[in-house]
């Protein structure tokens, strides 16, 4: 949809961004927590997202895996946000609640699941109020956007019901975050776009 924004308009809005300080992982209300490892075999941290995961390609969600989840973790929550969106708040691209402490998400796994997945996890609502993966779709000429994949290991606490939104998940996480991991992919339109290294290749 935003690929139709004129290059001149995207360039004019380059300075209008929500800000990384508004990402969920940066909110002081979550308290202090340890680090866990979140990675993808499809792209390295800080590298450009392959086109197939964006609105310019198939628009499927990327594969993810995690390690170093602390003992006492009851469930995991994944929140994917774009802090470079020209809006007051980061754009939510995906929410997944109640992921298992040990596991992974295969390519295309973040999709509408109605009352939840077979593994007990539940895909919540993105910023377009729809379940599933909202493919990166930055305005042409707006510059590089950073897509923050944030994974939270949570201790015991209340559930959030079916198809939760960002505010419900953030409220449910308060005081329960044991560890968190951050993986960032980038994407842009209308400017140089070198492909970064692929994750999973250990030096």
Q: Give the pLDDT confidence of 114-153 residue by residue, as tens digits.
A: 877 766 688 999 999 999 999 999 998 889 999 999 999 9
Report pLDDT for 32.
Answer: 86
∠ CA 63-3-64, nearest 5°, is 5
pLDDT-derived band of residue 70, with 50, 70 and 90 as boundaries? Answer: very high
Q: Are 143 and 189 in contact (CB under 8 A)?
A: no
Round to whole Å and give the CA distance between 144 and 153.
Answer: 29
Q: Which residues contact 194 (CB under 8 A, 6 or more apart)?
A: 48
CA distances from 39 to 54, 179, 188 (A): 18, 15, 21
pLDDT at 43 over 80: yes
Report pLDDT for 15.
Answer: 58
Tens digit of each residue's pLDDT (9 = 90 or more) over 163-192: 888 999 999 999 999 999 999 999 998 766
Among 10-14, 77-81, 153-157, where is mean pLDDT lowest? 10-14
Round to whole Å and give the CA distance between 202 and 193.
Answer: 24
Report pLDDT for 22.
Answer: 93
Q: Are 108 and 62 in contact (CB under 8 A)?
A: no
Q: Which residues contact 201 (CB under 8 A, 6 or more apart)?
A: none
Q: Which residues contact 19 (CB under 8 A, 6 or more apart)?
A: 83, 90
- Predicted structure pTM score: 0.86
């Amino acid at each position: 949809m935003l690929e139709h924004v004129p290059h001149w308009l995207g360039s004019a809005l380059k300075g209008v961004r929500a800000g990384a300080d508004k990402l969920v992982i940066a909110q002081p209300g979550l308290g202090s927590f340890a680090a866990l490892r979140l990675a993808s075999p499809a792209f390295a941290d800080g590298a450009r997202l392959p086109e197939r995961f964006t609105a310019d390609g198939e628009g499927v969600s990327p594969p993810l895996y995690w390690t170093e989840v602390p003992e006492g973790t009851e469930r995991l929550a994944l929140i994917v946000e774009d802090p470079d969106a020209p809006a007051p708040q980061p754009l939510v691209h995906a929410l997944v609640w109640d992921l298992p402490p040990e596991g992974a998400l295969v390519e295309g796994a973040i999709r509408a699941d109605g009352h939840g997945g077979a593994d007990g996890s539940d895909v919540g609502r993105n910023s377009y109020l729809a379940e599933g993966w909202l493919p990166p779709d930055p305005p042409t000429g707006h510059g590089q956007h950073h897509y923050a994949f944030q994974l939270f290991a949570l201790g015991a606490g209340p559930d959030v019901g079916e198809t939760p939104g960002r505010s419900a998940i953030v409220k449910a996480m308060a005081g329960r975050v044991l560890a968190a991991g951050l993986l960032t992919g980038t994407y842009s339109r209308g400017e140089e776009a070198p492909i970064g290294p692929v994750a999973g290749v250990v030096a």
